[in-house]
Amino acid sequence: MVGAGVSEETAVRAGLGKSILRWLESGLEGITERDRILLFIAVFEFLFIITLFGAGQPMSGEQAQAMASSVGSGLPYSRGPEAVALSIFGNNYYLALLMDIPIAGPVLAAYIAFNSGVYVSAQAIAGSLAGAPASGVQMLEMYLSLPTFWLEFMAYSLATLESLYLIFAAYNRRFLSELPKFVVVLVSVTVMLLVSAEIEAFFYARHPPTRGHRCNSAAARPSAFFKQGP
C-alpha cells in the first residue's frame, strides 16, 4: 500500500515536471487541461507551504494578543450576517484581484500567504495564554477541516496561477486568446469566495465574538486565512 502511494505521488510529480516544461517551451499552446490541473496543484502546495512556514513563526505573548485581537475586529457584526458576509467577501475578493495581477500577483500571493500564517501563529499563542495550548502549525492543521479553508485556498491558487498564464500569454502575444479562460477563472473565484464568506458569516451569526475576546482561538474564528493584505 505504501509503495503504491509513493509510486502514484512520483507519477504526479513527473507529470507536473512535464507540464512545466511544455509551458516553458511552447507557452500556452502546448498546455492541456491536465497540465492546468497539475500546475494548479503545484501553486496550491506552494501557497500552503508558505502559510505553514508563517504559522511556525515565534512571537511574544503581548504581540500575539495584539495581532489576534485585530483579526476580524473591523467586521460589522451589529449589522447582521449579510453585512458581515459582504465585508468578508470584499476583503477576500480584493486580495484575489491583487493575486491576479501579472508579475506582481505571485509575489503578493506569497507575501499574503506568509502573513496569514503569522496571524495563525498569533491566534495559537494568544489562545495558549488563555488556556488552550496549541502551536500555529497545529491550529493550521485544525483549519484543514473547515470548508472555508479549501474554498479560499483554491480561489487564491486559481488567481495566482492565472496571473502566471497572463504573463506567458502576453509574452507569446496570445493575451486575447487567454481572456476567455481569465473570465472563467474570475467567475469561479468570485463564486468560491462568496460561498466562503456566507459560511463564515453564518458561523459568526451562531457564535458572535464577545467584546475584548475576538479571534483568540479556533473556536472564535472559522477562517484566519488571507484576511491581512499588504
Cβ contacts of residue 67 below 8 Å, gap of 6+? Answer: 59, 118, 119, 122, 123, 126
pLDDT at 220: 36
Give the pLDDT confidence of 141-173 residue by residue, as tens digits.
Answer: 888 888 999 999 999 999 999 998 888 887 777
Residue 52 lies in a domain: yes
Residue 20 lies in a domain: no
Residue 159 lies in a domain: yes
Residue ranges of the chain with pLDDT lower than 70?
1-31, 72-73, 129-133, 207-230
Residue 226 lies in a domain: no
Directed axis angle between helix 33-55 and helix 2-26, to 10°?
Answer: 110
pLDDT at 96: 94
Torsions phi, psi for 163 (to 5 deg): -60, -40
Q: pTM surpassing 0.95? A: no
Per the structure, the complete domain to which residue 79 belongs is given by 32-220
Residues, the chain, total? Answer: 230
Residue 7 lies in a domain: no
Contact at 8 Å (CB) between 23 and 39?
yes
> CA 55 to CA 124: how far, in whole Å?
9
Contact at 8 Å (CB) between 228 and 119?
yes
pLDDT at 185: 93
pLDDT at 152: 94
Total number of domains constituting the chain: 1
Residue 4 lies in a domain: no
pLDDT at 54: 92
143-150, long-range: CB < 8 A, 24+ apart: 143/218, 143/223, 143/224, 143/225, 146/222, 146/223, 147/196, 147/199, 148/196, 148/199, 148/200, 148/222, 148/223, 148/225, 149/223, 149/225
pLDDT at 16: 58
Which triple of cell numbers denotes residue 70? 485585530
